[in-house]
Chain A
């Protein structure tokens, strides 16, 4: 933390030094960005810098300024339309679209931020050129500069394109949605017809308060608990199941291991949404499994045991909260094991044979070998990916949504009042809030919370792998 602050401090300090100690050309660069380059005969660099500056100025005036001017209020002019019945045309006023203002303002702020960083580094670069010249060092011409892009600065060349994609697809949307969490953007305030505006922390407050009518606090707690339960259960069942299955198939005593593996792989080759929708109808209240259970008397048996409510003539596989949760986990095992099996197969192939051999000579039985040698090795090797899976399961939209959407009706009235269900994960809940109830403000708040939870889990594991020197181990 302290290191990071120091780094930032130095960053600005160096900028200050560059400006104060720089000669006239460096100082002139503060106004005309290319000046420093012209002075050192780097004409092309100079022209490029000037062009960047001009482009930025044009963007500021034409794009950023008009949007940022409305950023404080997110627009004041409501959409109004006047229809003329005689010409059958309508005229629309010059209205404000709060969402577009928000989006464009954030893009503008982002551009400005990037420009400032660029500007500061430019100053430093120009100052460095001055120093190089004073020290009589060689100054690169444009071609040489270009060549460094494929050598010392190759990382910049490689990262530019991915970074642009990530900025458009990830960073900007996230910034927009973080902003939405502080507005009242919901069905009553939907652009283009209506405006929305800033409301401060009130959405966060309503997520953590509970009354009979505003039950977000209650629902959030319940949904969060189930999300974590689900993530733990789903991760471990498929993980353990996958290892056992891989072990079983790869055992020397198993004939035709490839055939068996292929059979299981077929189950994951069918796209998830097809299998899940299919399985949902398979286990429907009047579906084929119920017909079968009914005819062999399983339904009646479960009724007598009390596992099925007595007024039902079917097993509520996906319609009763308890049953649905169990079924979702079982179906997830069905979907997840073949995949984990593939991973585990690879890991098991690399297991040090000599250890197992010596243990066997010492008289250990297969179970002992598995628990004492195989599992610790596998755990050691796949530990980090276990956490990735855990986080993926927190965000596992497909399984829950496809299995329960339109089928499961909650019987918890407080959950119903905030449009949640017992089987909802935080992501499915927020998806329904946006997609069916247009409650973007609450969905954004929930999204931020999910983000924080996942980020915390990931940071804990990955800072260890990244910071440690394990990276170089194999190289």
Chain B
């Protein structure tokens, strides 16, 4: 039954596509070099996994019809009647920049009347608003890559099955593309490549040698009577210790549950190392907002954080502002390089959008090379676009350089929802020195059981 409906729908869509295509060619629309534009479409058509083989066959006919008629954009323009109404969500800090980009986008398609509303929704919490009611969410929205699994699962992301103005997969850094891919399908447009974390420090306190090891840093900061801050009671950051020691955390194939080796041999050494490091109260467990205040107050002279804190650190430390990859830490007598999550900000298109085509074009526009460069110039955000990232200005930015140095030890964030609460609590217990004196192995076993708990 289901298949039948689908097949009928597909057939209708194809016929409609044909008619539209023909109509366009009759109008004599300028045919751009069709091969280039149609190529991704051809790739995409057989890839439709939902469509049974016999349904896919006529699709090829259509793409050849398009070869003759003109680019999909022209078709879209020709098929668009009336005002195109869309909503875009960008983070609070990105409002001015995005509204300028929206004007440019409108200017790029002068024949179309747009009514685009810009809303404020921070990238880190976009998921919370979107998942409550996917249909009411914006047509185009920015989000952090850690939310991609849940968004895809909830059907809140339109697959990037084809591209029209630039090659999304080829022009962006491979890590960013990987972060935007779920089950081999690209679901979002990379916007920045700087959402990971690394070490900020005040170079008047630490030398370049000091920042190579966390133990040395603690020693130096202690001597200076200052603090090093890290949000240890947060799964995202505490991951760096365990992953660094080679204890892996991976997402299972079902896309929901995790496999976690934190309680394997050596796990207790890592846990003990965190307890020891925080015991002297020099390395302190501190949330992001507090860190900003404490850096400004001059109490914190080094912190593990991301580019969004670069401005605060730069203001507080002036010329002494420096950034580097994460240091090593010592667990069980061995030095390990701290790992990290590489983070990206992505732009997604809502499949429930009434103007899907325009939403996709807009998403491409917001993430193309020019926009990424503009974003770097205005706000210092590291571009994911290869060309934009290779500019001298980007290369010489200390925070982005530090991220690049950390990249070798960073892994993309692929983790199921059950990870966060148990990991956060583990961090809280370790950072407060394991006050109940629970056996570390038991502690880790319980954490791992929570992290790997089945999802019904």
Contacts and interface: CB of A to CB of B under 8 A. Distances in A.
Interface in A70-106: 77-94
A411 B432 contact: yes
Interface string B423-456: 0111111001101000000010011011001111
A311 interface: yes
B239 to A, nearest CB: 16
Interface in A383-432: 406-407, 409-417, 419
Interface of A: 77-94, 184, 186-188, 190, 192-194, 212-214, 284-286, 309-313, 320, 406-407, 409-417, 419, 435-438
B453 A417 contact: yes
A411 B425 contact: yes
Given A87-B17, A88-B72, A412-B425, 11 more contacts: A82-B6, A82-B51, A83-B356, A85-B41, A87-B13, A92-B9, A188-B153, A286-B294, A406-B287, A413-B422, A416-B450
B290 interface: yes
A92 B279 CA distance: 57
Nearest to B234: A409
Contacts of A285: 286, 290
B433 A311 contact: yes
B20 interface: yes
Contacts of A417: 418, 421-422, 449-450, 453
B233 interface: yes
A194 B425 CA distance: 31
B429 A89 contact: no
Main SS of the interface on chain A?
A: loop
B417 A437 contact: yes
B334 interface: no
25 contacts: A77-B1, A83-B44, A83-B48, A84-B62, A86-B21, A86-B75, A88-B357, A88-B360, A90-B158, A90-B356, A187-B150, A188-B455, A192-B135, A192-B352, A286-B290, A286-B299, A313-B284, A409-B233, A409-B427, A411-B425, A412-B425, A413-B426, A413-B450, A417-B418, A437-B417
B153 A94 contact: no
B128 interface: yes
A409 B285 CA distance: 12
A93 B5 contact: yes
B393 interface: no
Contact of A86 (B12, B17, B447): B17
A83 B187 CA distance: 13
Given A213-B449, A416-B425, A417-B422, A85 B161 contact: yes
B132 to A, nearest CB: 8
A82 B50 contact: yes
**Most chain A C-beta atoms within 10 Å of own C-beta, residue among B48, B62, B131, B428:** B428
A415 B6 CA distance: 45
A299 to B, nearest CB: 12
Interface string B280-305: 01001011001001100001000000
Interface string B129-145: 00110110000000000
B351 A90 contact: yes
Nearest to A97: B135
A188 B456 contact: yes
B112 interface: no
Contacts of A438: 131
